[in-house]
Structure 1
Amino acid sequence: MNTISAGPHWQALQALAENQRLQPIHQLFSENPERFSQLSFRLGALLVDFSKQHYQQETIEQLIALAEESELPSWIDKLFAGVEVNHTENRPALHTALRLPEGRECFLDGQNISIDVQENLKRMEELVNHIHTGQWRGFSGEAINTVVNIGVGGSDLGPLMACNALAETPARDDSSQLAQQAAIDVHFVSSMDGSQLADLLKVLNPARTLFVIASKSFTTIDTMANAATAKEWLCKHANCSDTALVARHFIGVSSKPEKMLDWGIPKQNQLEFWEWTGGRYSMWSAIGLLIALKLGMSTFKDMLAGAHNMDEHFRLTPLKENIPVLLALTGIWNINFLNIGAHAILPYDGRLKNLPAYLEQLEMESNGKSVNRQGETVDYNTCPILWGEIGTNAQHAFYQLLHQGTEAVMCDFIVAAKRYGPDASQELRHQHQLNLANCFAQSRILALGDSVLEDAHTAPAHKRYQGNQPCTTIMLNELSPFTFGQLIAMYEHKVFVQSVIWGINPFDQWGVELGKQVATNLLGQLDGENLETLDASTAGLIKTINGDKVGVM
């Protein structure tokens, strides 16, 4: 029986929500000048401000009681201990083990999996050094200078995001490698229709291009189709055997070494990760190879260290001060008690342009579920719809809806306090100040409405701002590999906490499997045969692509 929404703390929160709706956010600030100090939390160089949320301290206390009722502390222990929290696939979810520092141990079925993790990390570093020092040569004997990552979903979004976010990070690796590292050009290909790859192949030099096939299963149809196209392209230019060609121009990253070998990728060109690493949590594994190739192993390891720092905070900090827990409970309050079903991710930093897309997958693929762990249909909302854009771009796109639309939306504002060093031009420093001003102004107006203006009450209706759009501000001292790692791990743990409260499994994704299965079956029917088994719409579309003028006027 589904009892979560019938529990005493859920009921108490519903009563609080009814009262809270009558008290606008700007009034909460008027009544409590200490609101920021009471509702903002810091972990090192990361600050999270919840003071513009539509709740009070009593609400947080009840939310924490709800988390305790859901046995959240026990679930956190299970996550880190390697218990099979992914019950539908009989797997643990041990992505936190990927960022343990060397010397720390993590056991699974009596085996210290940290040994495998560290060995794979060292193997990854060897490959990176081999490429950075110009020792990896293509079929013509020339050094590789371009690497193309072929993957989709978690095998694409995370590395792509990190490479863009941390592109300005000063290199710290051996100085003899820096010039070659800087000369490595990286690209990402994910589209099933082949358009991204086709555009790249027009300009790349086949003799100096290396492809990384990144796929947990090494069967993902769009990834393997792009890989086959890349191989065919190389074959047209190289005068060598397929075996030699693949050995010189392909690296595989997968949990299935036997499938990589079947495709032709030799053992020395393989990097592994494991079944206990979910695809959307795999950036911390060898799937992050492109991050290390573009930015250096030191940057990749600093990113791991930042994520581990957040892991330790999440694992050890009491719930009432635990940043990922509070972030998750804030979402629970907005979704389940204030009935807000939309969540905007608004980074005020162009380097984080891929963060909204990354979080869309992380959250909606994880918690977009309507069946609980007992196999029952839930009677409450789970994951909201996420979307977002760089803040200043979004201001000229969908902020009109945020400010004056009919939809309630919760917003995460993400910004770096510092951007440019003392050697930067005055114009650049001024631009960052302008960026900060916009970030703070927009979150202020969304939460407080036109109460921030002295003469707002005299404005006509079409110029009024209602406010009461709850906002969280996440501010990094500066965007570095370490703080970036903290940020992403924070959102990962937020997703897990919400899954515990909702009683769902965040580590499977059965909702995407049927589409793949039906698409595979349809491949054999696109020639127009055996259409009688299909619905009229799909059959009509297939007839149309085969030349029938169905429905043409």
Structure 2
Amino acid sequence: MKISESKEWKQLTSHLLEDIQGIKVGELNDLKSRFEDFSYEFDDLLIDFSKQKVTSKTRELLLSLAEAANLKSSIAALSEGKPINTTENRPALHTACRLPASVELVVDQIDINLAVQEEISKIDKMVEKLSNGHWRGYSGKPIRDIVNLGVGGSDLGPLLVCEALDEFKVDYPNNIRVHFASTMDGSQISDIFNTLNPETTVFVLVSKSFSTIDTLSNAASAKAWLMSNCPNEALVDKQHFIGVSVSAEKMGEWGIHPDNQLRLWDWVGGRYSLWSSVGLTIAIKLGMENFKLLLSGAHSIDKHFFETELSQNLPVLMGLIGVWNSNFLGVPAQAILPYDARLKYLPNYLMQLEMESNGKSVTQGGESIDYDSCPVLWGEVGPNAQHAFYQMMHQGTRKVTSDFIAPIRRFSKEDSEHGKSLQEQHLLTLANCFAQSRALMTGGSLDELASNSSEKKQFPNPHKFYPGDQTSTTILIPELNPYTLGQLIALYEHKVFVMATIWGINPFDQWGVELGKIMANETLSELKNAASTEKFDNGTNTLINLVKEGIGKNGKGSNS
């Protein structure tokens, strides 16, 4: 039975019509106990749901829906390594990658954590070898630059963490830097060739299957660049490439030396993989101590998710409210709004995490669903977003729910004028964060605000009127550091799992990604064939033939 046919789903529908419809979220916030009733804390992490359109009854009915969807048993299956990725018949054990070394996790009579700790040890040795200058390039010079070649989860996760925690980077004597290239068009990798020294650069090829065309095309260009300076291929392969993949065989065939191969497992999805060997660039930039703090922060949320009652469980509540917004309030979109520029890549990361995981239209059993699954996610650093798409959120016609994310402390208190100025800037950022969530909720008239008088009541100028009633959640962390960032990312991972469980879908496969890849290979073959093509639809055939005729280069599309 689909969840939409359950009595709990129908009770929520009735509750919406009888108790919620017609009420504005600002009216709910008039209650003095509202924040106390709808905010939750765990380990200094605070989540405020008071600006969501939920009541105590809504929460109670959503928890009943979770029981009807067997959420408790699904959480247990995730934690125990059961094969919950049903279309690929394997577990989803990214949480195992952040287990403490002393913890056992036995799956099919094998302690998974032994293999995890072995890879962490190999990462540690690589980081040590690089940091002390013992890893040298083909000319004998110490390595100074590490380039991560990946795409999707093999790029977005490490990129997010490295950028967000830049101030925690290790000050190496040989000034090691990390870089990222993911686009198959060659623009990023060519910029790297123009700025780095081939004698002192190592490329990390990250591909779970080691067949991702985006990554391998960049890797081939990197090898060609290196060999144009050093024609000894064996030396280039050994000194300038590291591989991260499930397939040791494919890494070896490509040329990755066995000593430079790091292992992945098929039970770690790409978008969940930054905790594994995929996080090598994180460990290099931040050092092993900070990398382990990142894992520790995520593990703390794992324990909370696996062990805490549903009614006090932060990822569970986030997920249930997400379902409420999507399926009952009819909110089709969610904005991710970090009020800290260090988290500029968090919206992109969460876009992949949520939409690749939950962008599904069939249940685990293959039955078509008759309700919306994943909302459309997008976002931007909050202060930038205020000057971009907030206009639509404040005065447009579409409903959007938002997550406002901010650290309470940004800069250490200093007596200097510089320190005081930075403190003021952070307070300004927090003021905007809190004010924008309030403005989205309450709405109002600019004319009335400008009058500075609560007595003055006038018909609002429609151009200066804000309807309000846009919901949001506010997430506060004490400060942004490796531990709290680990918590934040794991929080969203588990929220996604909760929503998937309610909807009855599998969040751990991504078959929708594959069709375009297959068609791209077919299209590439036709583009390389000099003859005119009629193999595809009319529009695609015409585009391919235009390229073959040189439009944009020497034809009528040229600017030259």
Alignment of 1:241-256 (within 5 A): 241-256=232-247
Alpha carbons 2:138, 2:230 under 8 Å: kept: yes
Report the Cα distance in structure 2 between the residues aligned to 1:263 and 1:483, rounded to whole angstroms. 38
Supply the AA of the counterpart residue of 2:543.
Answer: L
Question: Residue 296 in 1 paired to residue 296 in 2?
Answer: no
- Kindly indicate whether residue 534 of structure 2 is the aligned counterpart of residue 532 of structure 1: yes
Q: Does 1:179 align with 2:172?
A: yes
Alpha-carbon distance in structure 2 between the residues aligned to 1:27 and 1:277: 44
Give the 3-state SS of the residue equivalent to 1:397 in structure 2: coil
**1:4/1:297 Cα in 2 relative to 1: closer, same or farther (>3 Å)?**
same
Could you tell me which amino acid in structure 2 is paired with residue 23 of structure 1? I
* 1:192-271 pair list within 5 angstroms: 192-239=184-231, 241-271=232-262
Which ranges of structure 1 fall in alignment gaps of 5 or more residues?
A: 172-177
CA distance in 2, matches of 1:306, 1:456: 51
1:543 maps to: 545
| Residue 29 (structure 1) aligns with | 29
Letter in structure 1 aligned against 2:173? Q
Match of 1:286 among 255, 266, 277: 277
Q: CA deviation at 1:206?
A: 0.4
1:242 alignment partner AA: E
Contact 1:150 1:188 in 2 (8 A): yes
- Once the two structures are TM-superposed, the CA of residue 528 in structure 1 deviates from its matched residue by 4.4
Selected match of 2:437 from 443, 446, 451: 443
**Contact 1:419–1:479, Cα closer than 8 Å, also in 2:** yes
Per-residue CA distance 1:494-518 (angstroms, 9 max, x = gap)? 0000000000000000001010001
Q: Is the partner of 1:532 in helix, strand or coil?
A: coil
Q: Give 2:205's aligned amino acid.
A: I
Asked whether the 8 Å contact 1:456–1:464 carries over to 2, the reply is no
User: How many pairs align?
Assistant: 543
Structure 1 vs Structure 2 CA RMSD: 1.7
2:395 paired with 1:376: no
Report the 3-state secondary structure (helix = DSSP H, G, I; strand = E; otherwise coil) of the residue aligned with 1:156.
helix
Secondary structure of residue in 1 paired with 2:172: helix
The Cα shift of 1:145 comes to: 0.3
Pairs within 5 Å for 1:101-140? 101-140=100-139
Secondary structure of 1:361's counterpart equals helix
Which is worse superposed, 523-532 or 214-223? 523-532
Output aligned runs, 1:266-415, within 5 Å: 266-415=257-406
1:42-72 CA deviation, whole Å, 9 max, x = no partner? 1112100000001101001000000000000
CA distance in 1, matches of 2:551, 2:258: 52
- Give the deviation of 1:457 after TM superposition: 5.1
**Cα distance in 2 for residues equivalent to 1:457 and 1:129:** 69
Alignment partners' CA distance in 1, 2:272 and 2:54: 31
SS of corresponding position for 2:274: helix
TM-score normalised by length of structure 1:
0.96
The aligned runs of 1:35-46 (5 Å cut-off) are: 35-46=34-45
**What's the secondary structure of 2:83's corresponding residue?**
coil
2:486 is aligned with 1:485? yes
The separation in 1 between residues aligned to 2:102 and 2:213, in whole angstroms, is 38
Where 2:408 maps in the other structure, the secondary structure is strand
Matches of 1:15 and 1:262, distance apart in 2: 60
C-alpha distance 302-549 of structure 1, shift in aligned 2 (>3 A): closer
Q: TM-score, normalised by structure 2?
A: 0.95
Deviation at 1:115, TM superposition (A): 0.4
Distance 1:134 1:78, change over 3 A: same
Structure-2 change in CA distance of 1:548 and 1:255 (3 Å): closer
Structure 2 residue aligned with 1:521: 522
Q: Is the 8 A contact 2:335 2:378 kept in 1?
A: yes
Are the counterparts in 1 of residues 149 and 203 from structure 2 also a CA contact under 8 Å?
yes
Cα distance in 1, alignment partners of residues 34 and 138 from structure 2: 64
Partners of 1:524 and 1:119 in 2: how far apart? 42
**Amino acid of the structure 1 residue aligned with 2:228:** K
8 Å contact 1:348–1:415 — kept in the other structure?
yes
Distance in 1 between the 2:26 and 2:252 partners? Answer: 62
Give the corresponding residue for 1:20. Answer: 20
The DSSP-based 3-state class of the residue aligned with 1:505 is: coil
Structure 2: gaps of 5 or more residues = none
Cα distance in 2 for partners of 1:471, 1:61 equals 20
Corresponding residue for 1:175? none
Aligned to 2:65: 66
- Counterpart code for 1:540: T
C-alpha distance after superposition, 1:144-188 (max 9, x if no partner): 0000000000000000000011111275xxxxxx4337x111100
Amino acid at match of 2:319: A
Find the residue that maps to 1:413 and give its secondary structure: strand
Structure 1 position 426, deviation (Å): 1.2
How far is the alpha carbon of 1:460 from its aligned partner? 0.9
Deviations 1:25-46 (A, max 9, x none): 111122x211101110111121
Deviation at 1:21, TM superposition (A): 2.5
Structure 2 residue aligned with 1:174: none
The Cα shift of 1:107 comes to 1.3
Quick one: which of 181, 184, 199 aligns to 1:189?
181
Alpha-carbon distance, 1:422 to partner? 1.6
In structure 2, the CA distance between the partners of 1:83 and 1:457, relative to structure 1 (3 Å rule), is farther
Percent identity between the two aligned chains: 51
Deviation per residue, 1:518-549 (Å, 9 max, x gap): 11111111134372221111110111111177
Counterpart amino acid of residue 437 in structure 1: A
2:417 aligned with 1:417: no
Could you tell me how far 1:458 is from its partner in structure 2? 4.1
Contact 2:165–2:481 at 8 Å: present in 1 too?
yes
Contact between 1:134 and 1:143, CA under 8 Å: does it hold in 2? yes
Match of 1:97 in 2: 96
Partner Cα distance (1:525, 1:273) in 2: 34
The whole-number CA distance in structure 2 between the counterparts of 1:321 and 1:528 is: 63
Tell me, yes or no, if the aligned pair for 2:358 and 2:507 is still in contact at 8 Å: yes
Return the offset for 1:440. 0.2
Tell me, in whole angstroms, the C-alpha distance in 2 between the residues paired with 1:396 and 1:386.
Answer: 19
